Structure 1
């Protein structure tokens, strides 16, 4: 019996959907939206698809000299955070995985099975594929993030703290299973990190060992969030 994965089903749906924007133009818009270079996109896409992809491949795609497959289209959307052409953003939703602490201690914030938790309408300009939302609890990140605000992030399947997220505001889980939103900085020893609070009156957490960290891709104030 042939087993079809959700990703394959989605890729097939995309391939059959009417697309108003030429794909090479969409790709240019996706690169501009994400700020990625053609080389950076090529490296990440090459790791996601079976066919070899390098910078020259991406350049041919941008110029319309090389077709973009449905599978490549899906992965490019996930990598760049740019909506797949032909989708209606109003029908897209993102799962709220749980709550994350900004000063408050929130254990195991990834409380829901993927897709099982409450849903929020996908903000404009953000692709829902591979994106999760969490709700802020506490005030240590004031005035940037307030209690009740939603933060959107994409977590890679593996644990760890990628070098490129250090120095940025991230959703993290420490080794004790507590979820936080903080600015992540390198700690005093390898494998340790300082979790910086933006509120001057809140405490910074020094030399914390993290299970994983994912950069915040989008912040949505509570009053703008439309829960489905």
Structure 2
């Protein structure tokens, strides 16, 4: 490599999100973009192979996109934004905030009702990778959580020891999804759930997973 070419490579200015889509190739190796693609794919209920089939690449390419080790070309970025339901192609390229799909509403009895027929995207909080989000719509979480508060949960697939004494979104063995404070049960492998509205604990229950609250966006701070 000659000196002039070396100097030219190091003098290139950063490409903005909007300008990047007009380029033949976008090199964007930041973890924020990779995490965003992964989060949107999971929220859409798609596997890496599913997404690969939709945009005409192989599964390994999607894996590279999600690990930040793959160059981003204009057509795949546009196709991914359309297929994954991103507000715009630029949303995939922006550095922050991460888009988070609203999973459901927390209503009576602090039960989570999934939004099966509606897709709502929220600006995610910093520091959380692929969280779950739910909006409080009832008064069963007072006084700790108020109507229109948005709760962001650390997505878990099991019940970890560190959730004891914490407010969590939990899946009970009978299929219900609730937001409650998790307490240790009397029987091994069982847990009790504390309700804010009744100030009472449940009987011993088995949980499939428990995802703790990590961030709360208060209703008064939203428009």
TM-score (norm 1): 0.54
CA distance in 2, matches of 1:111, 1:6: 27
SS in 1 for 2:171: strand
Alpha-carbon shift at residue 225 of structure 1 (Å): 4.3
Q: What residue ranges of structure 1 are gaps of 5+ in the alignment?
A: 17-85
> What aligned pairs does 1:1-228 form with structure 2 within 5 A after superposition?
2-4=58-60, 6-12=62-68, 88-90=95-97, 92-101=98-107, 103-106=109-112, 109-112=113-116, 117-123=119-125, 125-127=126-128, 129-156=129-156, 158=157, 160-199=158-197, 201-225=198-222
CA distance in 2, matches of 1:135, 1:212: 19
- Alpha-carbon RMSD across the aligned residues, in angstroms, is 3.1
Q: 1:69 corresponds to which residue?
A: none
* Pairs aligned (count): 147
CA contact (8 A) 2:165 2:181 kept: yes
Bigger CA radius of gyration: 2
TM-score (norm 2): 0.55
SS in 2 for 1:88: coil
Cα pair distance change 1:6/1:145, threshold 3 Å = farther
CA contact (8 A) 1:150 1:225 kept: no
Task: Give 1 or 2: higher helix fraction.
Answer: 2
Alpha-carbon shift at residue 103 of structure 1 (Å): 2.1
SS in 2 for 1:133: strand
Cα pair distance change 1:224/1:93, threshold 3 Å = farther
CA contact (8 A) 1:120 1:225 kept: no
CA distance in 2, matches of 1:176, 1:89: 38
Q: What residue ranges of structure 2 are gaps of 5+ in the alignment?
A: 1-56, 73-92
Alpha-carbon shift at residue 140 of structure 1 (Å): 3.2
